[in-house]
């Protein structure tokens, strides 16, 4: 690692030694990330490459980039990907959240329904103040998430006019509407709550994210209320009323929903949102996630979530190729919301958001939401983040 000052002083020393004046001291690049295994599904790239950054943008992704740089990061033996995007978090609950996520390699996040009409302004303020791009889904329930208890047991909490007002006054950061449909949240009101979420979103042309699993109504009643671009989170929630029938087969309605453009998101969480058996049965039938998210909050380090790279690692065990897993947390996630249009890629010209990870070999234990553990031999660890071309301090 050589910083700008060292570079200049060595150049000056060299000039004195050789008795000539150094020509250009300005480095070609601000930063070069050297020699990592660059996995960028947006470019179908998985190879050892250098990534050069200038003006806060990706300037080149090539083997052995020759130009000099103000800073270099030695990424040999590491995995280098576009900055990770986590579309289901609760990072908007406090201003401490977003900087913690940034250390995990997460350079874009969505808070999925922490706040409703009554308290969304505070969540939106956290998003605006975040170091990376933060966006927000308004909970259709005016209270936002109430746990325990459930925000939709009284359907009057799902007030369309108030939700629309909340969207209108936070249009810069609100990117959709959230509805939690589990029976413990919504009782028998799941379908009506979803109808109201769609009604709130419609004038703004925004997607709705639903949280499924253990709902009163079955998927065959819920899915017809979703439109192209809407998101189903907690996709591997176990019965009752998940994506599998009583014999463990995918409901045809579920695969049909994917074909018409509904997005299926992992949403790790801590309670009732997935078990290994459902992941195994669904992935064996080819039903992989479109996006991998954490349902993260500031306490997640001490749960089965840990961080987004840990959640991504769970899919290595199920035989999903690493580039497909990385796609779920980069380019696929970026395509869900227009705010991330130019993210999730290391293509030349893109904002220089980069996640550096270590793919470690060893004996690792992964956790579902039912205290089920599974052994894995590989795990991704966060090993560095670059945001808009600047290395994020690790400490």
Nearer to Zn ion, 77 or 149 (CB): 149
Q: Least distance (Å) from Zn ion to the CB of residue 209?
A: 9
Name the minimum Å distance from CB 85 to Zn ion. 16
Least Å from the CB of residue 113 to Zn ion: 6
Q: Could you tell me the smallest distance in angstroms from the CB atom of residue 142 to Zn ion?
A: 17
Q: Which residue is nearest to Zn ion (CB)?
A: 295
Residue 66 or 271 with smaller CB distance to Zn ion: 271
Question: Is residue 151 a contact point for Zn ion (CB under 5 A)?
Answer: no
- Nearest distance in Å: CB 264, Zn ion: 15
Whole-angstrom CA distances from 2 to 49, 197, 232, 278 are 19, 53, 46, 49
Closest distance to Zn ion from the beta carbon of 293 (Å): 9
Taking CB under 5 A as the binding criterion, the range among 24-32, 148-156, 287-295, 304-312 that sits at the site for Zn ion is 287-295
Tell me the closest approach of the beta carbon of residue 289 to Zn ion, in angstroms: 15
Cα 382 to chain centroid distance, Å, stands at 14
Q: Which stretch binds Zn ion (CB under 5 A): 38-46, 66-74, 241-249, 293-301?
A: 293-301
Annotate each residue in 267-286 with x if it binds Zn ion (CB under 5 A) or - if it does not, as one string: --------------------
Asked if residue 378 lies in contact with residue 359, where contact means CB atoms within 8 angstroms, the answer is yes
- Nearer to Zn ion by Cβ, of 51 and 145: the residue is 145
**Tokens coding 263:** 């997005």
Shortest Å distance, C-beta 112 to Zn ion? 5
Binding mask 205-244 for Zn ion (x = CB under 5 A): ----------------------------------------
- Of 190, 295, 353, 368, the one binding Zn ion (CB under 5 A) is 295
> Which CB atom, from 112 or from 141, has the smaller least distance to Zn ion?
112
* Binding residues for Zn ion restricted to 100-119, rule: CB under 5 A: 112
Nearer to Zn ion among residue 92 and residue 351 (C-beta): 92
Nearest-approach distance from CB 367 to Zn ion, in angstroms: 17
CB of 88 to Zn ion, least distance (A): 6
**Piece in contact with Zn ion (CB under 5 A), picked from 28-36, 290-298, 303-311, 346-354:** 290-298
Looking at beta carbons only, is 61 or 305 nearer to Zn ion? 305
Which residue's CB is nearer to Zn ion, number 92 or number 384? 92
Choose the stretch contacting Zn ion; rule: CB under 5 A; options: 258-266, 291-299, 307-315, 386-394: 291-299
Return all residues near 265 (Cβ < 8 A) that are at least 6 apart: 87, 88, 209, 231, 232, 233, 234, 235, 289, 290, 291, 292, 293
| Residue ranges binding Zn ion (CB under 5 A) | 112, 295
């Amino acid at each position: 690692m050589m910083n700008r000052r060292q570079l200049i002083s060595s150049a000056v020393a060299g000039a004195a030694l050789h008795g000539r004046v150094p020509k250009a001291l300005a480095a070609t690049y601000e930063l070069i990330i050297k020699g990592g295994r660059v996995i960028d599904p947006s470019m179908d790239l998985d190879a050892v490459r250098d990534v050069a950054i200038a003006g806060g943008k990706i300037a080149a992704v090539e083997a052995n980039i020759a130009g000099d740089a103000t800073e270099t990061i030695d990424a040999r033996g590491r995995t280098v990907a576009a900055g990770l995007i986590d579309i289901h978090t609760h990072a908007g609950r406090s201003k401490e959240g977003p900087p913690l996520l940034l250390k995990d390699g997460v350079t874009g996040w969505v808070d999925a329904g922490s706040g409703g009409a009554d308290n969304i302004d505070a969540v939106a303020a956290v998003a605006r103040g975040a170091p990376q791009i933060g966006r927000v889904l308004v909970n259709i329930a005016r209270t936002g998430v109430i746990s325990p208890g459930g925000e939709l047991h009284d359907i009057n909490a799902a007030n369309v006019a108030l939700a629309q007002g909340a969207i209108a006054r936070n249009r810069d950061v609100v990117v959709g509407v959230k509805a939690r449909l589990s029976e413990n949240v919504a009782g028998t009101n799941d379908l009506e709550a979803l109808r109201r979420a769609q009604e709130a979103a419609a004038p703004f042309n925004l997607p709705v994210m639903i949280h499924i699993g253990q709902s009163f109504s079955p998927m065959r009643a819920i899915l017809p209320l979703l439109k192209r671009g809407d998101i189903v989170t907690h996709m591997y929630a176990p019965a009752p009323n998940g994506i599998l029938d009583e014999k463990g087969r995918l409901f045809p309605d579920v695969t049909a929903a994917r074909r018409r453009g509904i997005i299926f998101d992992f949403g790790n969480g801590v309670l009732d949102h997935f078990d290994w058996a459902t992941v195994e049965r669904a992935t064996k039938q080819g039903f992989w996630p479109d996006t991998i998210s954490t349902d993260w909050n500031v306490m997640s380090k001490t749960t089965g979530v840990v961080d987004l790279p840990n959640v991504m690692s769970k899919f290595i065990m199920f035989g999903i190729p690493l580039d497909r897993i990385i796609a779920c947390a980069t380019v696929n996630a970026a395509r869900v919301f227009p705010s991330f249009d130019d993210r999730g890629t290391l293509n030349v010209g893109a904002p220089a958001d980069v996640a550096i990870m270590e793919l470690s070999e060893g004996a690792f234990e992964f956790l579902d939401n039912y205290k089920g553990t599974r052994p894995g031999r590989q795990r991704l660890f966060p090993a560095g983040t670059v945001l808009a071309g600047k290395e994020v301090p690790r400490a």
